[in-house]
Amino acid sequence: MHSVDKHIEIIDWGRTEYKEAFSMQRERVKLRSSELCKDALIFTEHDPIYTIGLRKNAKQHLIWSEHECTRKGINVINSNRGGDITYHGPGQIIGYPIVSIQARRDLHGYLYVLEEVVIRTLAAFGIESDRRKGKTGIWIEGQRKICAVGVAVSKWICYHGFALNVSPDITHYDGIVPCGITDGSVTSMVIELKHHIDIKKVKLRLAVEFDQVFEDYIIKNE
């Protein structure tokens, strides 16, 4: 995929193993910190995995035993992103923006940017979604979570990002309490729309929306 315009580079890693992608993220963060590359939005799909965030007691929300996870082909790993436990797998778009927010130094504002990008993208496909007070991510009717959000920051270079469910195996969420939420469920674009979605088209829309929303976010403080 090519850059939407001069501001954001759009990169697609294809399908990756989580540890490999994490290592690639960290390398990109170093390059961005040294101003050896531009801000970028990186797309990938991960092999099935449960990632445990930094939130206290997040590991307690793993329901399946290690044996059961292995039997189903799902790895389990600790992550340095914020948030609880979540699932990544094929059919889910992982967005890793590796961007400098030095001009704003406002992590909450940046999280709002990520949420806004997903909300606008879903709207373009006919899905109405929103934030949920006191909870992270993007929700439909305040009950069904369609996108998880969790970021890390190093010297005001952000990494990690969002995981948008297009058509993942939803049964894999049965092995965890997703994001520690006990009063909601998990959904996907395919479930909501009841028809096939071209994941490439969703990536293209995410790229367009991210370029616009992130640029507005940075420009406001220049």
Q: The CATH number of the domain where 212 resides is what?
A: 3.30.930.10
16 confidence band (pLDDT: 50, 70, 90): very high
Task: State the pLDDT at residue 220.
Answer: 66
**pLDDT tens digits, one per residue of 153-205:** 999 999 999 999 999 999 999 999 887 777 789 999 999 999 999 999 999 99
pLDDT at 6 exceeding the cut of 70: no
Structural domain contains residue 79: yes
Structural domain contains residue 1: no
Whole-number Å distance between alpha carbons of 138 and 44: 19
Structural domain contains residue 4: no
Structural domain contains residue 2: no
pLDDT at 2 exceeding the cut of 50: no
**pLDDT tens digits, one per residue of 122-132:** 999 999 999 99
pLDDT at 145 exceeding the cut of 50: yes
Asked whether the CA dihedral 53, 198, 215, 32 is positive or negative, the reply is: positive
**pLDDT tens digits, one per residue of 95-124:** 999 999 998 899 999 999 999 999 999 999
Which domain, by its residues, includes 45? 9-219
- Average pLDDT of the residues in 53-62: 87
Within 13 Å of residue 18, how many CA atoms lie on the same side as its CB? 21
Whole-number Å distance between alpha carbons of 191 and 73: 23
68 confidence band (pLDDT: 50, 70, 90): very high
Whole-number Å distance between alpha carbons of 30 and 52: 24
* DSSP sequence for the chain: ---SSSS-EEEEEEEE-HHHHHHHHHHHHHHHHTTSS--EEEEEEEPSEEEE-SSTTGGGGB-S-HHHHHHTT-EEEE-SSSSSEEEE-TTEEEEEEEEE-TTT--HHHHHHHHHHHHHHHHHHTT---EEETTEEEEEETTTEEEEEEEEEEETTEEEEEEEEESS--GGGGGGB-GGG-SS-EE--HHHHHSS---HHHHHHHHHHHHHHHHHHHHHTT-
Task: State the pLDDT at residue 43.
Answer: 98
Structural domain contains residue 29: yes
Q: Which residue has the tokens 């069904």?
A: 144
- Average pLDDT of the residues in 204-222: 86
Catalytic residues: 179
Structural domain contains residue 3: no
Counted domains in the chain: 1
- Averaging pLDDT over each range in 1-10, 42-51, 82-91, 100-109, which range is the top one? 42-51
Structural domain contains residue 138: yes
pLDDT at 89 exceeding the cut of 70: yes
- How high is the mean pLDDT of the chain? 91
Structural domain contains residue 131: yes
Q: Which residues have C-beta within 8 Å of that of residue 51, sequence separation ≥ 6? A: 18, 77, 78, 79, 81, 85, 86, 87, 88
